[in-house]
Structure 1
Amino acid sequence: MSADELGWVWISITAVIAVLLVIVVRLAVVAQHQRSRIAELEHSIEVASAVAAHPKKPEERLVGVVVNVTKDDADEVVRLVHTSCSQAGMPAPLIMASSAEDPGYLMTQRAVEAGADVVIAAGGDGTVRAVAATLAGSEVALGVVPLGTGNLFARNIGLPYQDLEACVDEAIHGQSHRVDTLHLRLQRPGGRTDEEVSLVIAGGGLDAEVMEDTRDVLKQRAGWLAYGEAGLRHVMGARKSVTVRLDDGEPATFRVRSVLLANCGSLQAGMVLVPSAKFDDGHMDTVLFTPRHALDWARILAKTALRFSSDIPVMKVRQARTTRVTMAEPMPFQIDGDPVGEVTAVHAEVVPGTLVVHGVKRAVEQPPQPALRELD
């Protein structure tokens, strides 16, 4: 299961239940907008801003690269990074391959110890998350060259993710921007606690179930549509009780099919699951899905595809700096598309501006939403 396919999971789940025509029309409009936006981004790259962002002399700058060598374009990215460093008069980059056992934590630490001022994550959202988790809290910047199918973090920060050369240029020479991370403490059945970091969306319930249960054979034959088959089998599953506390508010209990903690809100093909979720606003968006039947899922689809800003009863969205979710029974959980097993409670905290990222192109301020307790 690829870690950067979270967006397709949600799109496929809703698509098998509601009117597909809404999506088709919306995607046609968004595709044209996306092509225009990418062209504008590429045109706007200026050497002067890159120089101002990096006061070090070129010969003093070392670039580290953590690359997922299983991706089709991995060799091309390595070549592009070598060429860009050479042309800028920089030393040869430090290239390290991730592995199934370690998606990038140790490699990133080695790059930092070697003196790198930027570490490029060349892979999917799993590689990006591993590199980001190691760099968070330091002044070493994260560069992103997306090689996955979803590339959700790259999409949310506005990278021209379909142009490898432009992404390499942004990763090495792009302006620096500070983004938030979500620090997660996962309580496991039996009492063990694990510490994790999320950049995009973490969540428990339906999304984690689908990612754990998608059949590999069908995925190889049908691609992301395979998630629709798994979604169809799970979407009408029983709701479960969770108790949610935002910041210092009073806890509230809900029957949910899924609960999400979002640092970013955009998915593939221009779909926006959580419009208010921004990577640099100092808040996370807590999203509760409480559908009872197919009509409720159709309402969620319409809100997502048409970007309705108003609340609907079956999809509650509220912002906070800290969120505590306690499950009445163990619930499967995922982080940025990676299934991480069952949890009984999750404590999430936004760490504002803890990660320096190169090449961020989009940041939109949103006012905080009212507290969750006001929905009772």
Structure 2
Amino acid sequence: MRSLMSITGTTLVRGRYARCYGAGTDRLIGMTVEDYSLLFAAAVLVIAVLVVVMARMGGRIRSLREQVADLEQRAEVTALVAAHPKSPEERLVGVVVNVTKEDADQVVSLVHEACAAAGMPDPLIMASSPEDPGHVMTRRAVEAGCDLVIAAGGDGTVRAVAAELVNSQVALGVAPLGTGNLFARNIGLPYHDLQACVAEAIHGTPHRVDTLELKLQRPGGRTDQEISLVIAGGGLDAEVMDDTRDVLKTHAGWLAYGEAGLRHVLGPRKTVGVKLDDAEPQTYRVRSVLLANCGSLQAGIKLIPEAKFDDGHMDVALFTPRHALDWARVVAKTALRSSTDIPVMKVRQARTGRLTMAEPMLFQIDGDAVGEVISVSASVSHESLVVNGVRPELLESPAD
């Protein structure tokens, strides 16, 4: 019996004491049956307490989750309220209008009507000029307390107004009156409907978009600072913008660019050094090089489908065609909206970039020819501009 108990480690209770055998030890524990009962009761109590604590913790976790959800909802509401923090009586709208455009008077009337209908003060109307497409006027609007400045004109007017609103809380509205209206197209505005565009400018939801900060080095040594909202580039595109006949633009609209394109498309390629972010510089023989913040052109053409106006990147497109067949490949890629590289058209994304021209090259910004450059430094300013009326639901199938 003793041997068996020694082998199995069985506990034998003799009277008042319990003697334990096993693991080569022989120790005395002075506990009565009542002690065991108390110990069991204490264990039950501890378990009960743990259950209560865990239940309360679960309740607190659920409560915290509910609080987080509530805070997120409040944040969304706060963001929407903050979009137009002033009452209608306090909101002042500025308008920078290119009075040479055919529908300039109509836009001014529409803005007056929209402000009056909303109980807002009369808008502050200022005309741009050939010498200043909108910089000084926009600064005056901001100084006057405007929390929205509408650019009524082409992409040049939009760009001038935007340049003064970058990194501020003052929103940009767009009433497109130009030939291309590229920025309006890319943000999904119904640019054929001026009344709808004015309504979006005044009452549309604000959206932050990227801008491209450009430093242009001129052949004579001068350096100019510019911004781009859509596409800047050198080579063929700049030649086309520089040589499009105004009389054709007046009568044929954006189709006038096609006539100039046919006259320049087979021009010579030029050598350009390209450095993107921290990568090593590369040298290319290009017919055109583009820095794109947006990728859509007229007639719903998505030249660079990858380009998004709020993704924190610019898309650098390098066109290296040598003859008409190569251009046909570019046209096919564009028509199919393919994001796959082809040998004669490469697209790279970057936050910063530098173009170095082996010889002076014509350059354009958002459809406006800006003269020759020998180098261009570019960087993305992420979400630097507040724009009213961005309509993402229309971006996949913009109007022609």
Q: TM-score, normalised by structure 2?
A: 0.76
Deviations 1:291-327 (A, max 9, x none): 0110000000011112122111101001000010000
2:243 paired with 1:203: no
2:370 paired with 1:347: no
Counterpart residue identity of residue 203, structure 1:
G
2:308 paired with 1:278: yes
Deviations 1:21-47 (A, max 9, x none): xxxxxxxxxxxxxxxxxxxxxxxxxxx
Counterpart secondary structure, 1:109:
helix
Contact conserved, 2:93 with 2:146, CA < 8 A, in 1?
yes
In the TM superposition, residue 69 of structure 1 has moved relative to its aligned partner by 1.1
In the TM superposition, residue 55 of structure 1 has moved relative to its aligned partner by 2.0
Contact conserved, 2:254 with 2:298, CA < 8 A, in 1?
no
Deviations 1:159-214 (A, max 9, x none): 11111111111101111110000000000112211100100000000111122223
- Following the alignment from structure 2 to structure 1, what is the Cα–Cα distance between the partners of residues 254 and 183? 18
Counterpart residue identity of residue 233, structure 1:
R
> Which residue number in structure 2 is paired with residue 133 of structure 1?
163
- Following the alignment from structure 1 to structure 2, what is the Cα–Cα distance between the partners of residues 58 and 101? 34
Q: Which moved more, 1:234-243 or 1:103-112?
A: 234-243
2:145 paired with 1:115: yes
Q: 1:91 aligns with which of 99, 121, 124?
A: 121
Q: 1:334 aligns with which of 364, 371, 375?
A: 364
Q: 2:387 aligns with which of 328, 333, 357?
A: 357
In the TM superposition, residue 122 of structure 1 has moved relative to its aligned partner by 0.8
In the TM superposition, residue 250 of structure 1 has moved relative to its aligned partner by 0.4
Counterpart secondary structure, 1:60:
coil
2:109 paired with 1:79: yes
Counterpart secondary structure, 2:198:
helix
2:182 paired with 1:172: no
Q: 1:256 aligns with which of 286, 297, 317?
A: 286
In the TM superposition, residue 232 of structure 1 has moved relative to its aligned partner by 2.5
Q: How does 1:1-376 map to 2 (within 5 A)?
A: 53-217=83-247, 219=249, 223-362=253-392
Query: How has the CA–CA distance of structure 1 residues 197 and 68 changed in structure 2, closer, same or farther, with 3 Å as cutoff?
Result: same
- Following the alignment from structure 2 to structure 1, what is the Cα–Cα distance between the partners of residues 393 and 359? 37
Query: How has the CA–CA distance of structure 1 residues 53 and 183 changed in structure 2, closer, same or farther, with 3 Å as cutoff?
Result: same
Query: How has the CA–CA distance of structure 1 residues 135 and 325 changed in structure 2, closer, same or farther, with 3 Å as cutoff?
Result: same
In the TM superposition, residue 144 of structure 1 has moved relative to its aligned partner by 0.6
Alignment: residue pair count: 317
Counterpart secondary structure, 2:101:
coil
Counterpart residue identity of residue 360, structure 1:
V
Contact conserved, 1:146 with 1:161, CA < 8 A, in 2?
yes
Query: How has the CA–CA distance of structure 1 residues 91 and 217 changed in structure 2, closer, same or farther, with 3 Å as cutoff?
Result: closer
Contact conserved, 1:81 with 1:168, CA < 8 A, in 2?
yes
- Following the alignment from structure 1 to structure 2, what is the Cα–Cα distance between the partners of residues 358 and 295? 42
Deviations 1:317-348 (A, max 9, x none): 01000010000111000000111110000000
Query: How has the CA–CA distance of structure 1 residues 122 and 297 changed in structure 2, closer, same or farther, with 3 Å as cutoff?
Result: same
Contact conserved, 2:214 with 2:379, CA < 8 A, in 1?
yes
Query: How has the CA–CA distance of structure 1 residues 280 and 260 changed in structure 2, closer, same or farther, with 3 Å as cutoff?
Result: same
Q: Which has the larger radius of gyration?
A: 2
- Following the alignment from structure 1 to structure 2, what is the Cα–Cα distance between the partners of residues 327 and 363? 39
- Following the alignment from structure 2 to structure 1, what is the Cα–Cα distance between the partners of residues 270 and 364? 17
Query: How has the CA–CA distance of structure 1 residues 248 and 363 changed in structure 2, closer, same or farther, with 3 Å as cutoff?
Result: farther
Counterpart residue identity of residue 127, structure 1:
T
Instruction: Give aligned-pair identity as a percent.
Output: 78
- Following the alignment from structure 1 to structure 2, what is the Cα–Cα distance between the partners of residues 338 and 282? 24
Deviations 1:103-152 (A, max 9, x none): 11010000000000000001111110000001001110000111112111
Q: Which has the higher contact order (CA 8 A, sep 6+)?
A: 1
Contact conserved, 1:332 with 1:343, CA < 8 A, in 2?
yes
RMSD: 1.8
Q: TM-score, normalised by structure 1?
A: 0.81
Structure 2 unaligned blocks of 5 or more: 1-78, 396-400
- Following the alignment from structure 2 to structure 1, what is the Cα–Cα distance between the partners of residues 190 and 100? 22
Contact conserved, 2:179 with 2:253, CA < 8 A, in 1?
no
